[in-house]
């Protein structure tokens, strides 16, 4: 593994660790490419998705023609076409008209089987995903497509039945568990090879939180500290001596508490009385009883704030373009 390619950190001597997630990705990608299908690999930032996919696809080359496309902002349909034009190394200027552009791309894609790696796919909207589906549905294109991205990628694909029904394999990357950290990190870089397991656990619980990118960053800082101090081995004293910003990262995000919504469309009196009697916000039970004629979002927001025992943002209306405060919290 070259220094410049590991999790965006200049880290000499880092190795690609064959975690369970990487082994699963290798099988899933191999099956997807063989079937000329589409798959989605999704998960949080820094969990090793892109690294794993690049490693697995590299093993398929040169027998497989792999083209990588990375999106950094929400692309239009034309932007997607232009990225494909560039990825396929097509000559000349991109056509101006969509129909002409589509014919050119389908003709090029029909030449031989190809695999597209679409990275940072969380930036794609439904229209962009639909365009990839449009090309994949063309019988002559012989495409395999691997979407890699954050939660937004999975959400958009799942929202569209025509898209989600065509995904051959879904794989969710998660944080390394504490036991996986103790297995993987000594293999990841030589400075952790002889480290005490307790020190690795300390580093993970205070800084990395099972995130491979955070481990790469911490390893780079620790490697520098070893050189500056003349120490030969990592220990908690060295780790504590790192500058606080280097030893403090955002802890794992806490998943929001699930919300169950019970609706009584018939406005049955027994149901209403039971729901009102069960209302107890401290216990997480909220009964919203809108007044007659409540049809607007603003009116619903006022009723919800009242049910929560909070004053409304404004007595009558909300500032133009501003979403009601209670709805922003609930989002």
CA distance 197 to 11: 22
Fold observed for domain 20-173: Rossmann fold (3.40.50)
Q: What is the mean pLDDT of residues 258-270?
A: 73
Cβ-in-10-Å burial (0-12, 13-18, 19+) of 141 comes to: buried
Q: Phi-psi region for residue 92, left (φ > 0), alpha (ψ -120 to 50) or beta?
A: left
- Give the count of alpha carbons within 13 A of 265, CB side only: 0
**Do 108 and 59 touch, CB atoms closer than 8 A?**
no
Q: What tokens were used for 261?
A: 């919504």
- State residue 262's pLDDT score: 78
Residue 330 banded pLDDT, cuts 50, 70, 90: very low
Indicate whether 291 pLDDT > 70.
no
Question: Taking residues 301-330, what's their average pLDDT?
Answer: 58
Task: Give CA–CA dist 303/166, Å, rounded.
Answer: 42
What's the pLDDT tens digit per position in 149-191? 987 888 888 888 888 899 999 999 999 999 999 999 999 999 9
**CA 225 – CA 228 distance, rounded (Å):** 5
**pTM exceeding 0.85:** no
User: Which residues contact residue 186 at a Cβ distance below 8 angstroms, ignoring those fewer than 6 apart?
Assistant: 192, 193, 195, 200
Higher per-residue pLDDT: 256 or 212: 212
Q: What are the CA-CA distances from residue 14 to residues 19, 112, 171, 221, 269 (Å)? A: 15, 36, 25, 13, 67
Nearest to 53 by CA among 147, 180, 153, 187: 147
Give the pLDDT confidence score for residue 210 in this predicted structure: 94
Rg (CA), the chain: 26
pLDDT digits (tens, 9 = 90+) for 228-258: 999 989 999 899 887 555 555 555 655 556 6
Percent of the chain whose pLDDT exceeds 70? 83
Judge contact between 36 and 169, C-beta under 8 A.
Answer: no
Cis bond before residue 62 (omega within 30° of 0): yes
Element (H, E) at 302: helix 297-307
200 contact partners, CB below 8 Å, separation of at least 6:
181, 182, 185, 186, 192
- 318, pLDDT greater than 70: no
């Amino acid at each position: 593994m070259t220094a410049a390619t590991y999790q965006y950190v200049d880290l000499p001597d880092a190795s690609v660790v064959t975690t369970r997630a990487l082994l699963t990705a290798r099988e899933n990608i191999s099956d997807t490419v063989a079937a000329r299908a589409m798959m989605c690999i999704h998960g949080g930032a820094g969990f090793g998705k892109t690294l794993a996919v690049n490693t697995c696809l590299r093993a398929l080359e040169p027998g497989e023609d792999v083209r990588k496309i990375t999106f950094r902002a929400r692309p239009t349909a034309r932007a997607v076409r232009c990225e494909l034009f560039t990825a396929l190394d097509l000559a000349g200027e991109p056509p101006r008209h969509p129909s002409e552009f589509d014919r050119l791309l389908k003709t090029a894609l029909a030449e031989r089987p190809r695999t597209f790696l679409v990275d940072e796919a969380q930036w794609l909207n439904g229209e962009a995903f639909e365009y990839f589906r449009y090309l994949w549905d063309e019988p002559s294109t012989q495409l395999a497509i691997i979407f890699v991205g954050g939660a937004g990628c999975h959400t958009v694909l799942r929202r569209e039945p025509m898209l989600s029904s065509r995904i051959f394999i879904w794989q969710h990357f998660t944080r390394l568990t504490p036991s996986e950290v103790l297995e993987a990190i000594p293999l990841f870089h030589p400075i952790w090879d002889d480290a005490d397991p307790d020190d690795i656990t300390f580093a993970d619980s205070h800084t990395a939180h099972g995130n491979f990118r955070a481990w790469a960053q911490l390893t780079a800082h620790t490697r520098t500290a070893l050189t500056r101090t003349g120490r030969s081995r990592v220990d908690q004293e060295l780790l504590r001596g790192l500058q606080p910003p280097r030893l403090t990262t955002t802890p794992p995000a806490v998943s929001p508490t699930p919300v169950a919504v019970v609706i009584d469309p018939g406005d049955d009196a027994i149901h209403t009385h039971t729901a009102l009697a069960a209302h107890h916000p401290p216990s997480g039970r909220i009964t919203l009883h809108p007044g007659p004629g409540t049809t607007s979002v603003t009116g619903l927001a006022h009723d919800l704030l009242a049910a929560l025992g909070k004053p409304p943002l404004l007595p009558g209306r909300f500032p133009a373009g501003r979403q009601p405060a209670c709805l922003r919290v609930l989002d």
